[in-house]
Amino acid sequence: MARKTNVILIGIDSIRADHMSMFGYKRLTTPHLDKFVKRGAAFENMFSPHIPTTPGYTSMFTGMDTFGMDVVALRHQGGLRKGLTTLAEILGKRGYATTCVGFSGNPASRGFQKYLDFEGWGSWEAGRSHKAENLNKVTIPELKRLAGGRKPFFLFLRHMDPHSPYLPPRPFDRMFYEGNEFDKKNRSLDPVYKFKPFCDYFASWFPPGCTDKDYIIAQYDGALAYMDACIANIFQTVQSLGIEEETLVVIDSDHGETLHDHDCYYDHHGLYDCTLHIPLAFVLPGKVPAGARFRDYCHMKDVTPTILDLLGEKTNIKFDGRSLAPLFAGQERVQEPEYYITECTWMRKHGWRTPEWKLIHALEPDFHFKPEVELYNLLQDPEENNNVAKQEPGVVKMLEARMQAHIAKREKATGRRNPIYTNLNWHGKGCGPFKTSKQAYESMHIGSPKAAKGLQAKELQTQRGAKKL
């Protein structure tokens, strides 16, 4: 009997699809990923509708939307919804050895048999961050161990290089920048330093005296290039172990990143496409066509159903997502081009996205003092810089109605209230919804990489309550 197909799922935290050379970015940030993915299929319109990390990766691991998983916030309280089953739990029960690298403290990572951690953070004082090398140090020995075992394996890697702080090692720090980051005539970082909630955090990893926003953006791009070079080491190990033909490799992210966009500054909040649009690729010789590119709309909830479909593993779970595998066989697959979007990171908002329009509706005042309602014409204004909500009240009304109809439909189907309405302590302040933007501005604060790391780390959740397959 042939051995089952292995799975390596590479989750790249905070990577923007539009900053990858794989998807046409002007800088050569991901040459090794570009080359590797040509052996399989890539999706150009992949979105993470529920951000940030916890709901994003929970959706990926469960095949559910925010209603199905009942998770909406970064600071999710408690475990996953009762009866929910993760991909690791499904494969573990099917005889797979399962290992998670770099994601042991989040409820979204429930169900792995083994957890390995690495240092994926840093600060200016600590020096340049060798995040991907740190990941490789623990991953490659584990990959060799898994490949040498009798069981098929599922290995999840959470890369942290695109996540702030952006501190790529030399020479990647100067790869995309030739200017003077300390030019006193350059005032582009002035508003960043004045943003009270984040300014202390930025001071912990910006070079002291840095004035140029383009330098910071170049560090993000340099971190991508550095990580890309290190991922090539993973691919080389797979090749040297002789398991290329029997290993499915999936590449995606939990969400994108705001750089100097929308005044959200070097983080991943805001329901703009820079935060929602992420990469997705599948490589599996014989089952995924080489060199394929798809423009079909797809979402995080589609990842687990696709993986299981490619593995030939059937379950009785009614996923909210749908497999993308029919596309690999040249078959039709109905798209989902308009959909519900949510965020509970530093702001609590939801909205509705279509190929033409983006509606964003704040459920409480945010710390950027933005208007309650934002509307963007994605065809005329793809960077979402011109809010036309006041000029297009009819469109706002139409999109709001479609969003509320979807919410009512999903609440009825799940028998639960929309979690964005019930998780009122999403910020962890214990004060209920913010009443004013000033209250939010004064309350929300991050002071150091250690504090940032703590936001994504919780006590390991219980492994009980997995749904019987």
Same domain? For 415 and 304 the reply is no
**Residues with Cβ within 8 Å of residue 301, at least 6 apart in sequence:** 59, 60, 62, 63, 64, 65, 68, 319, 320, 321
Statement to judge: residues 273 and 393 lie in one domain: no
Q: What is the mean pLDDT of the chain?
A: 93
| Greatest C-alpha distance within the chain | 69
Do 350 and 291 reside in the same domain of the chain? no
Assess if residue 463 is contained within a domain. Answer: no
Assign residue 187 the CATH number of its domain.
3.40.720.10
**For range 350-365, the mean pLDDT:** 98
Length of the chain: 469
Domain end residue (candidates: 295, 314, 332): 332
CB count in 10 Å sphere of residue 256? 28
Q: Are residues 322 and 376 in the same domain?
A: no
Please tell me the predicted confidence (pLDDT) of residue 23.
Answer: 96
Evaluate whether residue 195 is within a structural domain.
yes
Write down the pLDDT at residue 119: 86
Mean pLDDT, residues 351-358? 98
Quote the pLDDT of residue 70.
95
**Do 394 and 266 fall within a single domain?**
no
Q: Is the pLDDT of residue 344 over 90?
A: yes
CATH of the domain at 444: 3.30.1120.10
Residue with the larger pLDDT of the pair 460 and 297: 297
**Considering its fold, how many domains does the chain have in total?**
2
Looking at the fold, whether 165 and 26 belong to one and the same domain comes out as: yes
269 plus 345 within the same structural domain: no
pLDDT tens for 188-225 read 999 999 999 999 999 989 999 999 999 999 999 999 99
Q: Does residue 466 lie within any of the structural domains?
A: no
Residue 232 has a pLDDT of 97
**Over 50: is that where the pLDDT of 444 sits?**
yes
Residue 244, Cα to own-chain centre: how many angstroms? 26
For residue 464, pLDDT over 80 is answered with no
- Asked if residue 425 belongs to a domain, the reply is yes
Q: 66-109, pLDDT tens digit by residue?
A: 999 999 999 998 878 888 999 999 999 999 999 999 998 888 89
Q: Which of 369, 351, 467, 325 shows the shortest CA–CA distance to 406?
A: 351
In a domain, 461, yes or no: no
Taking residues 334-357, report their average pLDDT. 96
Residue 464 lies in a domain: no
Domain extent for 247 = 6-332
Please report the DSSP string for 434-468 in residue order: -SSHHHHHHH----SHHHHHHHT--PPPPS--PPP
- 287 and 360 share a domain? no
Which ranges in 371-459 belong to alpha helices (H)?
Answer: 393-414, 419-422, 437-443, 449-455
- Name every residue whose Cβ is closer than 8 Å to that of residue 103 and which is 6 or more positions away in sequence: 11, 57, 109, 115, 156, 158
Same domain, 86 and 36: yes
Percent of the chain with pLDDT over 70: 95
pLDDT in tens, 217-231: 999 999 999 999 999
Q: Is residue 457 part of a domain?
A: no
Domain end marker among 275, 303, 332: 332
326 and 376 part of one domain: no
- What would the pLDDT profile of 100-148 be if each residue is shown by its tens digit? 999 988 888 999 999 999 887 777 777 788 999 999 999 999 999 999 9
Q: For the residues 421-447, what does the mean pLDDT come to? A: 92
Give domain status of residue 174, yes or no: yes
Residue type, 194: K
Same-domain status, 325 and 345: no
What is the arithmetic mean of pLDDT over 366-384?
97
Q: Of 312, 332, 352, which residue is a domain's last?
A: 332
The mean pLDDT value for 400-412 works out to: 98
Residues 321 and 346 in one domain: no
